A and B are shown apart, each in its own frame.
Chain A
């Protein structure tokens, strides 16, 4: 079975501060892991994904995430928050045979204060 836990439904940071959004997963098979972002009135957009290879994955808009198998984690970070990063972020896991068949976490709403 696959599931995703996102710790913290709301995270607030100041502009320029580190962003850390937490994600832990459980999977019965080696997972493919994703972070999506959802801006108001827009569709979900892929930030980054881990399938195989390097465990530190870089995505768009300066975000990156590290796959840590021993901790079953895939936390999302960005060194310096920007006002435009305010959005809802979803972590997701896939079994891999069909990457589009995703299991999503509940989401984390990121607020960035000026």
Chain B
């Protein structure tokens, strides 16, 4: 168990550029979540996958955001035409729900810090 891995750790980009982040969940975890955390706030849910299916998207996920999990393993989060308001820590988490829903436990990665200049 190597934990949830996110790449890159830091990304600095200019406004209007596209960026892509990658998340590698813990092996065999079939659920994968993306959250966003801005300074002074708690994490906010963006979207989640069960295997390769994207099951829920937050209203925070504007048309400029897209997430994929093509083979049910790693996931990518792309932001097109970045804006300064996109500057945040993007967190990924994975889980393997048990037979009972209340056994689900999330494991978070260390996040990708995005700075849009």
> Known: A43-B4, A43-B91, A106-B40. Contact between A97 and B45, CB under 8 A?
no
> Known: A90-B42, A102-B45, A103-B45. Contact between A44 and B91, CB under 8 A?
yes
The SS class assigned to the A binding surface is loop
A92 touches B42 (CB 8 A): yes
B108 touches A96 (CB 8 A): no
CA distance A9 to B39 in the complex (A): 12
**Residue A56 at the B interface, CB < 8 A?**
no
**Residue A98 at the B interface, CB < 8 A?**
yes
Size of chain B's interface in residues, with CB distance under 8 A? 28
Size of chain A's interface in residues, with CB distance under 8 A? 25
**A61 cross-chain contacts in B, Cβ below 8 A:** none
> Known: A42-B110, A98-B48. Contact between A104 and B102, CB under 8 A?
no
**Residue A28 at the B interface, CB < 8 A?**
no
Contact of A104 among B44, B48, B110 (CB under 8 A): B44
**Residue A77 at the B interface, CB < 8 A?**
no
Closest to B97 in A: A99
B43 touches A104 (CB 8 A): yes
CA distance A71 to B97 in the complex (A): 30
**Residue A45 at the B interface, CB < 8 A?**
yes
Bits for A77-110, please: 1 = Cβ < 8 Å to B, else 0: 0000000000000101000111111111111000
**Residue B107 at the A interface, CB < 8 A?**
yes
> Known: A98-B101, A98-B104, A100-B31. Contact between A106 and B42, CB under 8 A?
yes
Within 8 A of A (CB), among B65-108: 91, 93, 95, 97, 101-102, 104-108
> Known: A101-B45, A104-B42. Contact between A32 and B102, CB under 8 A?
yes
Across the A-B interface, give the 6 residue pairs with the lowest CB-CB distance, nearest first. Answer: A104-B42, A43-B108, A51-B102, A99-B104, A44-B108, A43-B110
- Residue positions of B touching A, CB distance < 8 A: 3-4, 31, 33, 35, 40-45, 48, 55-56, 91, 93, 95, 97, 101-102, 104-111
Beyond the given pairs A98-B48, A102-B35, A102-B106, 7 more chain A to chain B contacts, judged by CB atoms under 8 angstroms and listed by A's residue number, are A43-B3, A43-B4, A90-B43, A99-B102, A100-B33, A100-B95, A104-B42
